[in-house]
Amino acid sequence: MIPRYIVNFDLERMRRERTDVVVVGAGIAGLYTALQVSTYADVILISKKKLDDSNTRWAQGGIAAVTAKSDSPALHRQDTLVAGAGLCSRAAVEVLVHEGPERLKELIAYGTQFDKDDEGRYALTREGAHSKRRILHAHGDATGAEIVRALSERVRETPRITVLEDHFVIDVVTHEQQCVGVLVMGPDDDMFFIQSDATVLATGGAGQLYRYTTNPEIATADGIAMAYRAGAEIQDVEFIQFHPTALYYPDAPRFLISEAVRGEGAILRNINGQRFMEQYHPLKELAPRDVVARAIVTEMERTNSAYVYLDITHESEELIKHRFPTIYKFCLQYGLDMVTDWIPVAPACHYIMGGVRTDLHGETSTSRLFACGEVSCTGVHGANRLASNSLSEAVVFGHRIAKRIKELAPLGALPPIRFELPREHRPANVMKERVKLQKLMLRHVGLKRHEKGLQKASQEMERMMRFFHYALRDRESFEFLNLLNTALLTTRAALLREESRGSHYRSDFPQTDDLIWRKHIIQSIQEGVRIEGGEADVE
């Protein structure tokens, strides 16, 4: 059993603070929501590292929103629904495609400088499964870094936002099924409580569930795990997106090679130099991400290789260096020149489609608790996210969350709240366990899954559950517990879903089963697992 809290505490005996709204996380979702809320309330924004050290910073491709005359919300909706493989919430997708363009204007008003073409119009690129060029980008391939720069500058100059850097949120605290604040550990390992009328989880994703990921070290699924322990519903966490093209090179990290590189014409070749995507999908290299990632793995297996090549050498040196300066420079550090060399790539974990289930205003099933960005499951992404929809989702739903919180009545005084569990005092080497968990996930709960492997992973994870009953006090341990908590939810859902759909592929159930499985898997600490109907077919 996963305990309600991962530490023992007594609020009466702790330092306490009070604010209107707590925002946990400093990626696009956290920064943007904090700015929106600060127009009418005081906000404490908590970042586990520095303000500009989020997963968003690494986003390359861009932000998808309809701006061109030849494009329309209906086309954006259709592309999103098709990529989502029958599990998107239509209502959430409608919200995304209609409100995205307005939110984009706000990002620009906050100071984000997107790239423009020679005529002064916003330059648009294309990525997999988009029927139109609709993706705005900044400094070529540094879109996330530019957004974080602009928003964090605004946050720092906003008096109603207090920023706590290097602070770690251990758990959200609830009383009578409502969220009343957060338990925080400061840089000196001091634990304190912040009471708030509303709490927004904007903690990002779960890439560190896997040994190979494009996400930074901080993506440890904290929000999903905390929300689960707090009683919120968790939806569709079996759907984990592997980005098809992460750099695969000795001693290099699994650096993202943006899908926009394929959008600008790059092709995939197997180890023998043969182009292969036409055998897998009519859209070839620009097929939905799950299709491309699985095709790559199939080619790797067929040719007994650990990678394939991405080839953009047929494009001009000027285009490559101008559109992809960050990727170009990064590869060059390892002696790989995109102008002349094929780049070795392999899939790596990139994004989790499922997460903390929210309504159309970002509110979770736990009252006063909101989720925004990758940690949430608004229903926009279904079983497979359309490229560059994540940044738009964060601002569209961040805006709605800010509006909803404004309507909340303040929280009254709290009674004493304490949590006590007998916990063993043992030295625990969590880093070793974390690597073990990451390998387990990669091997059995990765791109290709089957019952035997999933059972094995689940049994191993059950053995690791003892760590929840140790008296742990450091961040690495809390992060490990959050990863383990989420890994268990992902594995349980992956075992249950006896079909293949979007990013979830079962070799023992290779077909999509719309009759039985056009459904969501929802998990909660109180009720266990619930399976709930999906929606009608895409147009």
467's CB contacts (< 8 A; 6+ apart) are: 428, 430, 433, 477, 480, 481, 484
CA distances (Å), origin 317, targets 313, 333, 335, 341:
8, 17, 16, 12
Strand partners, 169: 184
Using the minimum distance from each CB to ligand SIN, give the nearer residue, 60 or 503: 60
Query: What span, in angstroms and rounded, lies between the C-alpha atoms of 386 and 392?
Result: 11
Q: Measured from the CB atom, is 255 or 307 closer to ligand SIN? A: 255
Q: How far is the CB of 311 from ligand SIN (least distance, A)?
A: 17
Distance CA 493, CA 454 (A): 10
Which residues in 380-399 contact ligand SIN (CB under 6 A)?
387-388, 390
253-261, 444-452, 516-524, 525-533 -> range binding ligand SIN (CB under 6 A): 253-261
CB-wise, 260 or 268, nearer to ligand SIN? 260
Residue 258 interacts with ligand SIN (CB under 6 A)? yes
CB 389 within 8 A of CB 64: yes
Q: Which residues are registered as beta bridge partners of 182?
A: 172, 194
Closer to ligand SIN at the Cβ: 58 or 193? 58
Q: Should residue 152 be labelled a site residue for ligand SIN when binding is judged by CB under 6 A?
A: no
Q: How far is the CB of 60 from ligand SIN (least distance, A)?
A: 4
* Binding string, residues 39-68; x marks residues near ligand SIN by CB under 6 A: ---------------------xx-------
Residue with tokens 């709240």: 417
Q: How far is the CB of 230 from ligand SIN (least distance, A)?
A: 28
Mask: binding to ligand SIN, 338-377, rule CB under 6 A, as x and -? ----------------------------------------
Name every residue whose Cβ is closer than 8 Å to that of residue 186 and which is 6 or more positions away in sequence. 164, 166, 167, 192
The least distance separating ligand SIN from the CB of residue 350, rounded to whole angstroms, comes to 6
20, 99, 171, 259: which one contacts ligand SIN (CB under 6 A)? 259
DSSP string, 285-334: GGS-HHHHHHHHHHHHHHTT-S-EEEE-TTS-HHHHHHH-HHHHHHHHHT
Is 289 marked active-site?
A: yes
Distance of closest approach, residue 375 Cβ to ligand SIN, in angstroms: 16
CB 516 → ligand SIN: shortest distance, Å? 30
C-beta of 129 vs 445, nearer to ligand SIN:
129
Q: Which is nearer to ligand SIN, 60 or 208 (CB)?
A: 60
What is the C-alpha to C-alpha distance for residues 215 and 479, in angstroms, rounded to an integer? 15
- Three-class SS state of 193: strand
Q: Which residue(s) pair with 196 in the sheet?
A: 19
219 phi and psi, to 5 degrees? -80, 75
Rounded to 5, what percent of the chain is helix, strand, coil?
A: 35, 20, 40
What are the b/e assignments for 357-396, b being 16+ CB within 10 Å? bbbebbbbbbbbbbbbbbbbbbbbbbbbbbbbbbbbbbbb
Smallest gap from residue 259 Cβ to ligand SIN (A): 3
Are 207 and 214 within 8 A, CB to CB?
A: yes
The nearest distance, CB 205 to ligand SIN, in angstroms, is 10
Which stretch, 18-26, 107-115, 256-264, 336-344, contacts ligand SIN (CB under 6 A)?
A: 256-264
Instruction: Give me the residue label for tokens 């322990």.
Output: 229
Residue 439 CA, distance from chain mean position: 20
* Catalytic choice (57, 103, 289, 506): 289
List the one residue from 23, 164, 218, 260 that touches ligand SIN (CB under 6 A).
Answer: 260
- The pair of structure tokens assigned to 330 is 């990064």
Q: In this chain, which residue has its C-beta nearest to ligand SIN?
A: 61
Distance CA 437, CA 339 (A): 38
Q: Is 523 in the site for ligand SIN (CB under 6 A)?
A: no
Question: By C-beta, is 291 or 521 nearer to ligand SIN?
Answer: 291
- As measured in angstroms, the least distance from the Cβ of 390 to ligand SIN is 5
The alpha carbon of 519 is separated from its chain's Cα centroid by a whole number of angstroms, namely: 21
Closest to ligand SIN by CB, 115 or 259: 259
DSSP string, 19-72: EEEEEE--SHHHHHHHHHHTTTS-EEEE-SS-TT-SSGGG--S-EE---STT--
What Rg, from alpha-carbon coordinates, does the chain have? 22
In the bound state with ligand SIN, the residue whose beta carbon lies nearer, of 179 and 292, is 292
The nearer residue to ligand SIN, 174 or 258, going by C-beta atoms, is: 258
Give the interface size with ligand SIN as a residue count (CB under 6 A): 8
Evaluate whether 221 touches 485 at the Cβ level (below 8 Å).
Answer: yes
Q: Which parts of this chain interact with ligand SIN (CB under 6 A)?
A: 60-61, 258-260, 387-388, 390
Active site residues: 289
